[in-house]
């Protein structure tokens, strides 16, 4: 293997990857590794997502019985951390997170303890398991709060809400509705109210190989709401824009770098991300994503295209041979393309499932990233249970050029009733000068 962590074309090696998925979030990872010639077996825990990548990769119903087959076991989501640590102790090569990673993402109070180790400001965050007590707290507040749920309800992004009124009247009334219509399948309500901080929202992502961070780091900007203009409900994410950097490290050094030793002690391997608000007062961390992010991972794949094989990035991480990630210069954009009734499952079977996805030109094959799709008689069709169909990426010397590239690529793909935002990266015009003035860019 070459010093930069990837093989030459003549000596490119193929590997056996076992991918353990909660709900097919890592379908593109599986797809890209298969495209590079590797053997891939995919386990999907959620039965409603079980048809994703049908006729594309081999599916297995019991991943534990397949683990000895694999060269590398890759987990695409949080929730498997304790088992990941056990497997590493048993000598398996595992990518995707750790027990500490699970705690950082899933337990907001635990994450606050880690934020306290960093050179950051901490937004006021109060934990509740009762809407009544939360309403009582809000009635005495003179600043806005956002409600964020934990547990199973935390996966329901449409429940997240940022108060628009200074006295939180809208949030208080919304909690009455949540209380009235609470889905008992989510368990008892568990949530936090977090102070709304004004500033620029920006995240930093880095690869960790079990001992150290691998440079460069990826600065990225999430677009979480469903509709153009940042309107509508919160979704997982409708698009991301970003870039790799070696020298704009102020955010990284004051957040992720501070917990490097703890990640090393826990054997963490994979990507880790911290999303923040930055303003004149400093850095205000919001949350960790201690796993592969989506569509962030697609942007990383776009950035290394032609420089580093995805296979070699993964192998280099788990074998600790990736001293430097070779990337393209410039900026990347990823646009999530969805179909009805995204982001809600109800009605998807009738209105969104098994719609054809027609690629008009092979020129966009390397910009096409899998979501909830399968092959049916050699035709891509929508699959899964909620309509997050695919991501299209673009690259450019400027953010505007990357946007132009991505939306031009999208013109070569036809999907009936497709839904996507047309303004991914537009906020860069305002974010860049603010971040530059504050020393983050």
* pLDDT one-digit tens code per residue, 255-291: 999 999 999 999 999 999 999 999 999 999 999 999 9
Cβ burial of 397 (10 Å; 0-12, 13-18, 19+) is exposed
DSSP letter, residue 371: S
**59 near 44, Cβ under 8 Å?**
yes
The backbone torsions φ and ψ at residue 124, rounded to the nearest 5 degrees and listed phi first, read: -60, 125
Task: Supply 319's token pair.
Answer: 């074998």
Q: What is the CATH number of domain 124-195?
A: 3.30.1490
* pLDDT one-digit tens code per residue, 40-90: 999 999 999 999 999 999 999 999 999 999 999 999 999 999 999 999 999
DSSP E strands: which ranges in 228-268? 231-245
* pLDDT one-digit tens code per residue, 217-229: 999 999 999 999 9
**403 near 394, Cβ under 8 Å?**
yes
What Rg, from alpha-carbon coordinates, does the chain have? 21
For residue 238, the SS3 value is: strand
Positions of CATH 3.30.1490 in the chain: 124-195
pTM here is: 0.94
CATH 3.90.600.10 is the classification of domain 331-438 = yes
Which pLDDT band, with edges at 50, 70 and 90, does 6 fall under? Answer: very low
Positions of CATH 3.90.600.10 in the chain: 331-438
Distance of CA 11 to the CA centre of its chain: 32
């Amino acid at each position: 293997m070459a010093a930069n962590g990837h093989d030459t074309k003549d000596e490119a090696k193929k590997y056996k990857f076992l991918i353990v998925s909660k709900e097919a979030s890592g379908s593109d990872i599986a797809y890209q590794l298969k495209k590079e010639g590797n053997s891939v077996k995919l386990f999907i825990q959620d039965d409603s997502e079980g048809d994703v990548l049908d006729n594309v990769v081999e599916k297995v119903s019991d991943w534990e019985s397949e683990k000895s087959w694999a060269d590398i076991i890759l987990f695409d989501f949080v929730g498997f951390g304790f088992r990941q640590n056990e497997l590493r102790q048993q000598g398996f090569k595992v990518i995707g997170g750790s027990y500490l990673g699970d705690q950082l993402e899933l337990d907001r109070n635990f994450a606050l303890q880690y934020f306290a180790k960093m050179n950051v400001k901490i937004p006021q965050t109060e934990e509740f398991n009762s809407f009544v007590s939360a309403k009582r707290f809000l009635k005495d507040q003179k600043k806005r709060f956002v409600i964020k749920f934990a547990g199973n309800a935390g996966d329901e992004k449409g429940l997240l809400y940022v108060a628009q009124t200074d006295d939180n009247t809208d949030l208080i009334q919304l909690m009455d509705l949540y209380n009235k219509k609470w889905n008992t399948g989510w368990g008892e309500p568990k949530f936090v109210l977090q102070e709304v901080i004004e500033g620029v929202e920006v995240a930093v992502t880095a690869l960790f190989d079990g001992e150290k961070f691998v440079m460069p780091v990826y600065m990225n900007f999430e677009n979480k709401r469903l509709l153009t203009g940042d309107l509508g409900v919160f979704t997982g994410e409708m698009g991301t824009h970003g870039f790799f950097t070696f020298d704009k490290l102020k955010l990284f050094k004051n957040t992720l770098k501070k917990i490097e030793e703890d990640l090393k002690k826990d054997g963490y391997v994979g990507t880790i991300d911290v999303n923040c608000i930055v303003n004149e007062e400093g850095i205000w961390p919001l949350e960790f994503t201690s796993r592969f992010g989506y569509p962030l991972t697609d942007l990383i794949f776009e950035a290394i295209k032609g420089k580093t094989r995805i296979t070699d990035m993964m192998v280099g991480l788990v074998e600790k041979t990736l001293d430097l990630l070779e990337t393209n210069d410039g900026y990347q954009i990823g646009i999530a393309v969805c179909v009805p009734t995204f982001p809600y499952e109800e009605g998807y079977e009738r209105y969104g499932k098994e719609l054809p996805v027609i690629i008009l030109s092979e020129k966009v094959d390397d910009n096409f990233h899998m979501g909830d799709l399968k092959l049916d008689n050699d035709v891509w069709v929508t699959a899964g249970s909620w309509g997050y169909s695919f991501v299209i990426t673009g690259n450019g010397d400027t953010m505007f050029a990357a946007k132009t590239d991505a939306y031009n690529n999208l013109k070569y793909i036809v999907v009936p009733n497709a839904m996507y935002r047309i303004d991914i990266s537009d906020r860069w015009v305002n974010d860049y000068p603010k971040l530059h003035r504050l020393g983050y860019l």
